[in-house]
Structure 1
Amino acid sequence: MLPDFLKDSYKQYKDDTNRFAAWLVNMAKACGYNLDTLPTPSHESKSNSRAKGKQRQKKVEQDTAPEPKLYQVSVREMYKLAEVVSKSSVKVPPSVLAVAKRAITLRKAITSYFIGKGSSASNRRHAYFIEVLEEICKSLSSDDGAGTLLSGKEDDNADDPAWLNRFASLTVEAAEDTTETVSEGRELVKVVAVEEDEAADPGDQDARFLSHAFFRVFCLFHDLEKWRNFLSQTWTEYSDRKIDLMTASIITDSALQLAEELIQETVADMPSQFPQDSIGLQQLVYASLSMRRGKRMTPDTHLGLTFSLNMADIAEWTYLGVASLLESMTDVIEDDSIPLYKPDYFGLYDSKADRKKMSVPEKFNEDKLILLELLPEFCIIERFKLKLPVQDGITRGFVKFTKNKETTLWLSFAVQVLLDAIHATRTSRLDAWADLRLTGLRITKTIDDYWKLSKTHPKPQFWPAEGDKEIKNIRECILSFVERNPLQPMKDMSSRRLGGPAHASSDHLIFSRNPVLCGLTAFHLNLRMQTIGQALVTQWYDVQELAFLYNLVQQSPGRSISWPDMELFIKVHGEERIFLGNRPKDASQSLNRLEIVTGISSVTRFASDARQRSDWHSPDGKSGRKLEPTTKVANIFRERYQDDAAADKSEPIIYSSQVSKYLDELSETSTDKKKPKKSKEDKGKELTLALSSADQLLGRRWQNTHNVGALQLLALIKGKLRQEEPILLFNYFAMHRRSIEIMRLIKAKEHHKFVQYFTEGYMPDETLISNLVILIHHVARGSAASGQQLGLGKKQTQITSRMVVSCSDVMREYLAKHGDDLGKELRVFCRNTDFLAIKDGKADKKEVDYDSMYVFGLEQILSPGQLESLRTGIPLA
């Protein structure tokens, strides 16, 4: 089931009605109403003794206080309470009405699906609760008080079309998602709102079967429809190059995990009269709505449909069309066999066709063609037990289906989401697959450049063999799954066993027809590259030390240089991590900070637990400050999608405690600023302020209630992942190479001075070349001290060492060609380039045509052979 902090529509509805009823009871009690007339459940102490989630972390005085009394409030009792409150001087907070209206909006939207069918009593139960809630809201918001709102209603004919039309005409404004401020301070009582069918006689099976349980089922399909629309829009944004492939895939996979938990929870809570399997719920809703419309349920097989054309919208809403396609496939799936057929045997999928102009049978046939293409791929994965680097929920579910042949509502929903993603990107059908191949080419080039650099210096003692092994494993992963088709050998083997020719199939069909798997595979590779890249830079500690030299040059009068890539590196990890605070102002301060971060300061050398003392830095990855991933949201998904056993994990990542931890941090950030006291005029501005920032809105809600809507959380994660894309793709290997090359140029130019100042043994071997920065700092500090002693410098004047000037000349010449190489690479490969708007340490507001940058940038980043491989799909030799 869903974690406690996530609210689906049904839970939100129950929570809203209970909170609205609780406010009415508390206010009525304050107005002198006798609560003894309200019923209390006999199991009160048992059902309310558990503390959940953050409630266990409340203050001690709240834990030791007596539990509030629990009341059950029916619709009629809510009306009586509202009448008492409306006649008093109590002013209803807007947030209270917003909660009630949110419940009304949901109930009305869902009730409209099946109002008018069934018995008169059933119709009244469906509409009565909403009608009374609306009248209560009107009475509380008006100055005239409540009237005789219920008079004469019981005599109305529930079958009268006029009565049904009156309900249909009830209008409710959609409640804005404001911060949860319904009850300020601790509630005096706890209240559970009870609808008529819940309080009905247990023998009244019609009431319990048709009303409340049906409402919950419709809430389920209502949520799935909202999530599906959100995911379809997400893939449209990807197709329009507004978000990256990894973000769209992670959001989709997370939504599918939540949907699976929600479906299981709903099915488990259904009464015994309801189907006990999710596919049965699809059929039940389809049949009930067919009866309501008076339409036949017989499928129009002459049109190639497995459902009635007149009920096509409901078949799509309940995912019954996709479910029927999956059911039809069970006849051709056999144990230990793979269904093989000639390409285009059932038809040809035309990605250039306009789906909006297609008829229902044409759309249905197109979906069938796509699924028939994919069926053999999933069968091969299951039969040969192929282990992918990472596995998305759609692949996992379809592979399981080929084994157990069980069609479920969740699988129908997941497959429909896959079809939506394919249709959303149909104008450039291979976009996702091309992105994955481009990721493979970029990483391959990075690794190849690293191996070339490694041959030019001795093997570092401080770089473990596991590091190079991981780099080789990443390259092998790209070779096996991106450059080569991992399923083709198995297809050829199957064809040979059948004694027939091997029909050529579309290359990498498992990826080209599954954009979600493409995105998660790219995310997997980028996570591994980020991890090993940061480990490499931490062990060598060359980039960090060169950051100190770069800053020292920047602080020297008239010696400023431009290095956007280093500025980006500092921005990614923060000045606090690199410099232990703000950037040093002179050589002495810079050297002190440098000795601390490298672990050779006097504090470190004379610490009680320091076993080795040295005046120079010997990189070992232990003494220096380690780099850590700053992609907070991507880190939430790191364990699931990066580990070797990631493909075998099925636990929803949203359960991770890191999600709650991140929301805690977000709520703290949103409340750092001093809050103004809430006055009447401020309350009108509060919503506008909250809606101006999604982070603030969600952070404040989390702080107040410790629960969020599933769609809200997915939207937040999508926005944050988009922001973190360039940080995740930052090329640490390239920064390592640039640092080594710069230090080699400095060493070649100033070798005689290093020998003069520090003897010929100043650098044992080139793996310790980063130590040159420390030596340069010693020279710079010595020059400044000597100048001060000679009276050459004034208080406001900084003395610049000749060696620093020489280093600045070397760096300026080198950086003129390579200072923005990483930025160019990121601007080519990233969809979000806002983070990259850096020039000389400041934001660059210059408008850039990033579509042109993408086209021409590829020619600078990739070799001609790699570009041709990307165009043709043929792996490099």
Structure 2
Amino acid sequence: MPPQGLVSSYQQYKKDTDSIAAWLASTAKSCGYPSDLLTGGPANKPASTRLKGKARAEAKKKQATTTLPTTNKYIIKIKEFVPLAEFVASKREVSVSGSFIATLRRVIVARGGFGEKLAQHGAVPDELSDAKHGYFVGILEKVYEVLKPRVKIGLIDSSPAPSSDESDADDFANRFASLQVYEPSDDFLNAPDLERPKPLEGDKITYEAEQATSLEDLLVVVTMLINDINKIRARIQWIWSNYKDGLFDLAVAAIATNTAIDLARNLMEEVEPMFKDHGGLWKVLNRWYLVQMMMKGYEPFDLFKNDSTDNFNYDTYDIADGTYILTCRLISAFIPVIQPGNVPLYKDGMFGYYDPQSDRASKTGYQKFEEDRVLLMTIFTELMAVVRGIENYPVEDEFLRGIRELANTKQVSFYIVFAAQVFLDIHYTLREHAGKCFETLEKNLKSFDREIEEYFSFHINLKIDNWPARNDAMLREYQRKIRWILQDPGHQVKIKAYRQTGQTPPVSMEANRLLKMSPVLSGLMLYHFRSEIWDVGIALANAWGSITYSLHLYNALRSEKLLSRTWKDMDLVRTLLGDSSFFVGDAPGNLDQYMKKFCLQMGTTVAAFTKNRRGKVVLESRAGPRGIKDGAPVSLMFMDRYLRGTGQVDWKPEDIARIIDLGMWETEGSEEDGTLILGQIDDPEKLKQKAKTRRGKGSENAKLSPEQLIRALTFALQGETLELSVSYISMHRECWSLLRAVRKHCDPLLRELYTAAYMERETELCFVVGWIFLEPVKDRSTTLLLEARDAVDQFVRKEGTTVLGLLNDLDMPVEFVTEKNDSEAEL
């Protein structure tokens, strides 16, 4: 069971209802109520299987000692609630817990008044639903009255059972909340978990309440569901509004958005099977749209009061927008044009043109619908080009995934409607700024391409066993894939589709339209290649030891106060990755520790640096070399899905809560007064709590709703953006160039002290740092360290900001401040 709080309104409601059924059935059974009278019967009877041949003979031999597995689940019919309650009430030894009564009241209040309000507005459309009107609430109220005398004294007030009349119109209207994000109070966040009644101890049966199937019951559930997903929808709009203002990275916004749709889909999948008995998704949404219209004061015949040819009243566009009915209608229109093997080609201008610079707020309902139609018709062709013509497209968002399912099944699911609506919302939030998303992606991809090319130029004659040729081949494949995406494989698919039909591709058919139109796909594509380059960069640095051993030398020079300037690139990397990635234990701070810590990190012994290494001298320590530890723990959790294409896609709230727990960043200040900032967690107590949480001992995010989880995930990802964006390939080249400069400057003295054999080939360049640290200490200083100081100081002055320059080119400038207590430059 997910932690309390990681559930939707409907899930809370269902858990409450099931717990009432479980307590009634379990308590009645313990008092002698026969199990066979639980008319719901076993919910999962074992299937009958007829064995043959040898298997049948073996089964007969075991018949005396083998029994069929017994069922462990019962469905309790709603009509049994009152008989069960009356049986329990007849037993004097039974007392009713306060948690049972509190849960019962919650369900009554949740349902109370719903049917009556529907009836008042003429929204109960058939005799069957009218006959069942208020039936379930009446059952619950009767159970309350029957069991109230058995309640433990002091556990419940003396007020009468809450009835449908207690739920006023304002409360009902609040169920249809507009798109707003409401932050929970501290009292709510710190409140104890909801307590529900449980089956009696020792009862191993799982009981569930029968699912009510009337239209009224369905509309209650749909109301809860749409309120929940509208909060998620509002959070997604918040993400992209902040992206537009420059507060969130594109990849962060895309991952958080797609995860939010995952969570919405998880909520929908539990409810959507109920739609089948009422005509499917379209009819259910249409009924709910009509209810919304009537709740807003429209009459049923107002639906047709317009001049449109499709008999839809576009004056009610804003109501339709909140009910997803128009988006569902547009997605359904795709089905007739989906043909096996074909790419549906949308002709630009067929339904007008989308003008992102126009003022949407001043448009009529029909004009807004026209924007919806143009955007969805255009993107549909682009998505279908991927579905029909590209087998290995690097990333897939929920919209593309939904179109792929639609093409295969010809069935419209609620989640694809939601994904399509989110696509529209993002465009209407960004308007003319939507084009920036592809520009950002394009700039990054071209930068990655240059990084790889510069790597091969740098290493043309520089090879090492720890970095085999297959790794270089993999890098070339990455580069080929980058260029393939920039050339737009979907564009070629559409050109082919036009030629197959004897048409000439229109001049207006621009390249990369899919990524230009889809900020989410652009952001996921950015994450895909960024994380790929990050992964390669860390592996490269570990194979060569370039960054680690350069930092050991830099740290020694800084600790001895020998440098006149800071190496900003290294300060950035050290701050982001932490000293634990480079040192065993604390960073060394004196001449006695530099060599020891260097050897521990390198995985070798001091004996490796002796002049005469004859005999059987063990040069490698048992621990072996230590590389840079994986960082960006939250971002890395999405690599399997968006980089390798193998990860989880059915994210649930408890999964996201555990991912957020891995984060090492926290927010300070508030959004409301503009003081919100992100900072790395450095408080020892908070770090201990983080470690405890990662070991599975409680989650600080266990009480967040889905939309609140998305907010927390967005900040957690944003905190790691800089770490994931640093060019570790470039940093490797920079550090290797530094070691070259140090070796060249110190070479005469190194030869004098250790002979020319101190380094036989350039791949041993990292050992230069060890030879410098090995020099005997004289008067608390070493000549080699002083010589190295001159080389490092000169190099840092000329080439020490290559990485920062690349980040600045990608519109990610970094600033440093100086801590007064130690005069160290901090990020």
Question: TM-score, normalised to structure 2's length?
Answer: 0.75
The answer to which of 290-299 and 587-596 deviates more is 290-299
Amino acid at match of 1:231: I
* C-alpha distance 314-113 of structure 1, shift in aligned 2 (>3 A): farther
Q: Aligned in 2, Cα 1:344/1:105: closer, same or farther, shift over 3 Å? A: farther
User: Quick one: structure 1 residues 597 and 376, their matched pair in 2 at CA, closer, same or farther if it must change by over 3 Å?
Assistant: same
C-alpha distance in 1 between matches for 2:744 and 2:345: 65
Mapped to 2, the partners of 1:696 and 1:738 lie a distance apart of 38
Residue aligned with 1:324, SS:
helix
Tell me: CA distance 1:501–1:192, structure 2 relative to 1, closer, same or farther (3 Å). Answer: closer
Aligned twin of 1:804: 785
State how far apart, in whole Å, the 2-side matches of 1:111 and 1:700 are.
Answer: 44
Taking the TM superposition and a 5 Å limit, the aligned residue runs for 1:644-723 are: 646=645, 651-652=648-649, 654=651, 662=659, 703=699, 709-723=705-719
Alpha-carbon offset, residue 539 of structure 1: 0.4
Match in the other structure for 1:551: 555
Give the Cα separation in 1 of the matches to 2:798 and 2:807. 17
- What aligned pairs does 1:457-496 form with structure 2 within 5 A after superposition? 457-482=461-486, 484-496=487-499
The superposition leaves residues 251-295 of structure 1 with CA deviations (integer Å, 9 ceiling, x where unpaired) of 22222233334333323356x7433x4334323433555677641
1:657: how far off?
9.8
| Aligned-residue identity in percent | 21
CA distance in 2, matches of 1:712, 1:497: 49
Q: Which residue of 1 aligns with 2:797?
A: 816
1: distance between equivalents of 2:221 and 2:9? 9
Partner Cα separation in structure 2 for residue 411 and residue 166 of structure 1: 33
Cα deviation, residue 186, structure 1: 10
Deviations 1:665-697 (A, max 9, x none): 689x99xxxxxxxxxxxxxxxxxx99xx99999
Q: Does 1:10 align with 2:10?
A: yes
**C-alpha distance in 2, partners of 1:334/1:417?**
26
Structure 1's 264 and 352: CA in aligned 2 closer, same or farther, altered over 3 A? Answer: same
Structure 2 counterpart of 1:537, which letter?
Answer: A
Determine the structure 1 residue equivalent to 2:402. 397
Per-residue Cα deviation, 1:605-639 (whole angstroms, up to 9, x for no partner): 9xxxxx9966599xxx9942122321111121111
Cα distance in structure 2, aligned partners of 1:487 and 1:316 = 31
Alignment-derived partner of residue 640 in structure 1: 641
Cα distance per residue 1:744-781 (max 9 Å; x no partner)? 211221111111112112222222211111111111xx
Distance 2:285 2:116 in 1: 18
| Partner residue, 1:221 | 226
Are residues 1:369 and 2:374 paired? yes
1:778 pairs with 758, 767, 774, which one?
774
1:352 — aligned with what?
357
Q: Per-residue displacement from partner, 1:3-24 (whole Å, max 9, x unpaired)?
A: 9995222112333567799999
1:581 alignment partner, SS class: coil
Kept after mapping to 2: 8 A contact 1:397/1:411: yes
Q: 2:160 maps to what in 1?
A: 149
1:736/1:222 Cα in 2 relative to 1: closer, same or farther (>3 Å)? same
Secondary structure in 1 matching 2:253 = helix
Does the CA-based 8 Å contact 2:114-2:172 persist in structure 1?
no
Aligned ranges for residues 502-513 of structure 1 at < 5 Å? 502-504=505-507, 505-513=509-517
Inter-partner Cα distance in structure 2 for 1:149 and 1:309 = 46
Picking from 803, 807, 817, the partner of 1:826 is: 807
Say which is worse superposed, 488-497 or 435-444, in terms of deviation.
Answer: 488-497
Gap runs ≥5 in structure 2? 46-71, 90-94, 176-183, 610-614, 667-684
Partner Cα distance (2:538, 2:373) in 1: 46
Residue identity in the other structure for 2:626: R
Whichever residue aligns with residue 15 of structure 1, its letter is K
> Counterpart in 2 of 1:736?
732
Asked whether the equivalents of residues 379 and 517 of structure 2 are also in contact (C-alpha less than 8 Å), the reply is yes
What is the one-letter code of the residue matched to 1:630? G
Distance 1:106 1:422, change over 3 A: farther
Conservation of the 8 A alpha-carbon contact between 1:390 and 1:641: yes
Q: Could you say which residue in structure 1 is the equivalent of 2:598?
A: 594
**Residue 546 (structure 2) pairs with residue 542 (structure 1):** yes
In the TM superposition, 1:215-254 aligns within 5 A as 215-254=220-259
Q: Retained in 1: the 8 A contact 2:351–2:370?
A: no
Q: What are the equivalent positions in structure 2 for 1:268-287 lying under 5 Å apart?
A: 268-269=273-274, 273-275=277-279, 277-287=280-290
- Counterpart in the other structure of 2:627: 626
CA deviation map 1:181-240 (0-9, x unaligned) = 456999976999999xx69xxxxxxx7413434322332222222221221221112111
For 1:53, the equivalent position in structure 2 comes to: none
Q: Does 1:321 align with 2:326?
A: yes
Shift of the 18–772 alpha-carbon distance from structure 1 to 2, 3 Å rule, reads same
What aligned pairs does 1:152-163 form with structure 2 within 5 A after superposition?
none
Deviation string for 1:284-317 (max 9, x for gaps)?
4335556776413856773366633365344323
Deviation at 1:533, TM superposition (A): 0.4
Contact 1:249 1:520 in 2 (8 A): yes
Instruction: Note if contact 1:336-1:383 (Cα within 8 Å) is conserved in structure 2.
Output: yes
1:437 CA displacement: 0.7
TM-score (norm 1): 0.71
2:49 maps to which residue? none
Please give the alpha-carbon distance, in whole angstroms, between the structure 2 residues aligned to 1:23 and 1:846.
63
Q: Does 2:504 align with 1:501?
A: yes
Change in CA separation of 1:705 and 1:616 when aligned onto 2, cut-off 3 Å: closer
3-state DSSP of counterpart to 2:582: helix
1:768 alignment partner AA: E
Distance in 1 separating the partners of 2:293 and 2:743: 82
With 577-586 and 372-381 compared, the bigger mean Cα shift is at 372-381
For 1:337 and 1:21, how far apart are their aligned partners in 2?
52
**Superposed displacement of residue 540, structure 1:** 0.2
Q: Distance in 1 between matches of 2:342 and 2:752?
A: 77
Amino acid of the residue matched to residue 770 of structure 1? C
Q: Give yes or no for the alignment of 1:524 onto 2:504.
A: no
Q: Pairwise mapping of residues 171-250 of structure 1 onto structure 2 (< 5 A)?
A: 176-182=188-194, 208-250=213-255
Equivalent residue pairs, number: 747
Give 1:442 shift. Answer: 2.2
**Deviation at 1:330?**
3.4
Whether the 8 Å contact between 1:238 and 1:245 is mirrored in structure 2 is: yes
8 Å Cα contact 1:554-1:561 kept in structure 2? no
Secondary structure in structure 2 of the residue aligned to 1:307: coil
Using the alignment, how far apart are the partners of 2:690 and 2:116 within structure 1? 31
Letter in 1 for 2:548: Q
Q: Which residue does the alignment assign to 1:726?
A: 722
Structure 1 pair 384–113 and aligned structure 2 pair: CA distance change class (3 A): farther
SS at match of 2:393: coil
Q: Is there any run of 5+ residues in structure 1 with no aligned partner, and where?
A: 50-66, 83-87, 200-206, 606-610, 671-688, 793-798, 849-877
Taking a change above 3 Å as real, the CA distance of residues 598 and 106 of structure 1, as seen in their structure-2 partners, is farther
Residue 322 of structure 1 aligns to which amino acid in structure 2? Answer: T
Aligned partners of 1:346 and 1:369 also within 8 Å: yes
Amino acid at match of 2:11: K
- Alpha carbons of 1:185 and 1:491: their partners in 2 closer, same or farther (altered >3 Å)? closer
Q: How much does 1:383 deviate?
A: 3.0
Which of 424-433 and 559-568 deviates more?
559-568
Instruction: Tell me the alpha carbon deviations over residues 634-675 of structure 1, each in whole angstroms, 9 at most, x when there is no partner.
Output: 1211111111xx1xx5852526997575467689x99xxxxx
Aligned-partner Cα distance in 1 for 2:696–2:173: 32
For 2:334, give the aligned amino acid: M
Tell me the amino acid that sits aligned with residue 749 of structure 2: K
Structure 2 letter corresponding to 1:422: H
State how far apart, in whole Å, the 1-side matches of 2:703 and 2:197 are: 18
Q: Which amino acid aligns with 2:263?
A: L
Paired AA for residue 344 in structure 1: G
Separation (CA, whole Å) in 2 of partners of 1:603 and 1:107: 78
Q: Aligned in 2, Cα 1:381/1:22: closer, same or farther, shift over 3 Å?
A: closer
- Whichever residue aligns with residue 754 of structure 1, its letter is L
8 Å CA contact 2:663–2:716 kept in 1: the answer is no
